């Protein structure tokens, strides 16, 4: 890892890319805000999720489980399971970013799909840090503003079924899943997980089927062979994978 300083052109390019990803991702924060309120969370709870949890798929998962009638804590468990992928991103990013102390603690908050994607392929620590920070901060600010807008709009709508907001939740999850379906093994796991979840819907409390499907991942992962590298998102995968 070299420590060469960045040229002004490189700098401007990295900042521009980060801001563009921030805007694209922020736009779907509106979707999260509306879906979360439609799921039964208050505007305040919705905004706190975006400020504190700040990892889109986990936030959608918590809202989704609650919307299906699940206990809030099974929603929290699902959100935490989805959050484990950020731990793997962190392992990959740590030697690249090389931050210590409070900087590392602060950087951890904006360690998400997008900031990882825009930093992981940079050649130097300076470029990785700049890509990580501009993307992370741009997404953080715009995601939170957009969440608040979506939440107030969702509240104004009232019954989520009126504008088909209940259908938006499934579509949002599919869009988050989509970039991962390029891999055939993932398609198999996805189909299996969906089948397991639906088959236990009539037997268990809402929220449990999704957690049961997590068991499919564990089972296939343990029984599987071949050490594939961790799937870290690349620049093409950000903002739902289809900018």
Partner 1 sequence: MWTAVLVAGVGCYLLKLAGLSLPERVLSHPTVERVADLIPVALLAALVAVQVFSGGTSLTVDARVLGLGFAVVALLLRAPFLVVVVGASVVAALARLV
DSSP 124: B
Q: Which is nearer to partner 1, 133 or 172 (CB)?
A: 172
* Cβ closest to partner 1, residue 11 vs residue 173: 173
For 114-129, the three-class secondary structure string (H helix, E strand, C coil) is: HHHHCCCCCCEHHHHH
Shortest Å, Cβ 47 to partner 1: 10
Residue with Cβ nearer partner 1 (139 or 169): 169
Rounded to the nearest whole angstrom, what is the least distance from the CB of residue 127 to partner 1 in the complex? 18
Tell the smallest beta-carbon distance from residue 39 to partner 1 (Å).
10
Write out the two tokens for 121: 């392929």
We find the least distance from the C-beta atom of residue 18 to partner 1, in angstroms, to be: 18
- Alpha-carbon distance of 146 to 231, in angstroms, equals 28
DSSP-assigned letters across all residues of 149-203: HHHHHHHHH-STTTTTHHHHHHHHHHHHHGGGGGSHHHHHHHHHHHHHHHHHTTT
Question: Least CB distance from residue 159 to partner 1, whole Å?
Answer: 11
Residues paired with residue 124 on neighbouring β-strands, in sequence order:
2
Nearer to partner 1, 7 or 59 (CB): 59
Measured CA angle at 67 (ends 112, 36), to 5 deg: 45
- Minimal distance, residue 232 CB to partner 1, in Å: 10
Q: Which is nearer to partner 1, 16 or 242 (CB)?
A: 242
Question: What is the rounded distance in angstroms from the CA atom of residue 110 to the CA atom of residue 3?
Answer: 23
Q: Which residues pair with 2 in a beta bridge?
A: 124
Closer Cβ to partner 1, 10 or 155, answer by number: 155
Asked if 151 contacts 34 with a C-beta cutoff of 8 angstroms, the reply is yes
Burial class (CB in 10 A: 0-12, 13-18, 19+), 41: buried
- Least Cα distance to 108 among 118, 94, 122 occurs for 94
């Amino acid at each position: 890892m070299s420590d060469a300083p960045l040229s002004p052109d490189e700098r401007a390019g990295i900042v521009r890319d980060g801001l563009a990803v921030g805007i694209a991702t922020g736009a779907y924060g509106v979707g999260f805000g509306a879906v979360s309120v439609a799921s039964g969370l208050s505007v305040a709870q919705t905004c706190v999720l975006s400020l504190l949890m700040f990892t889109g798929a986990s936030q959608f998962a918590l809202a989704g489980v609650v919307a299906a009638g699940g206990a809030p804590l099974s929603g929290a468990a699902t959100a935490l399971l989805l959050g484990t992928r950020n731990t793997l991103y962190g392992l990959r990013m740590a030697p690249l970013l090389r931050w210590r102390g409070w900087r590392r603690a602060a950087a951890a908050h904006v360690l998400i799909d997008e900031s990882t994607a825009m930093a992981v392929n940079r050649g130097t620590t300076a470029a990785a840090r700049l890509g990580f920070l501009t993307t992370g901060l741009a997404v953080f600010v715009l995601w939170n503003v957009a969440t608040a807008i979506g939440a107030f709009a969702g509240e104004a709508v009232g019954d989520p079924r009126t504008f088909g907001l209940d259908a938006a939740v499934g579509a949002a999850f599919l869009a988050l899943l989509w970039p991962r379906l390029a891999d055939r093994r993932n398609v198999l796991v996805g189909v299996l997980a969906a089948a397991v979840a639906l088959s236990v819907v009539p037997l268990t409390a809402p929220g449990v089927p999704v957690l049961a499907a997590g068991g499919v991942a564990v089972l296939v992962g343990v029984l599987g062979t071949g050490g594939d590298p961790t799937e870290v998102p690349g620049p093409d995968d950000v903002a739902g994978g289809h900018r």
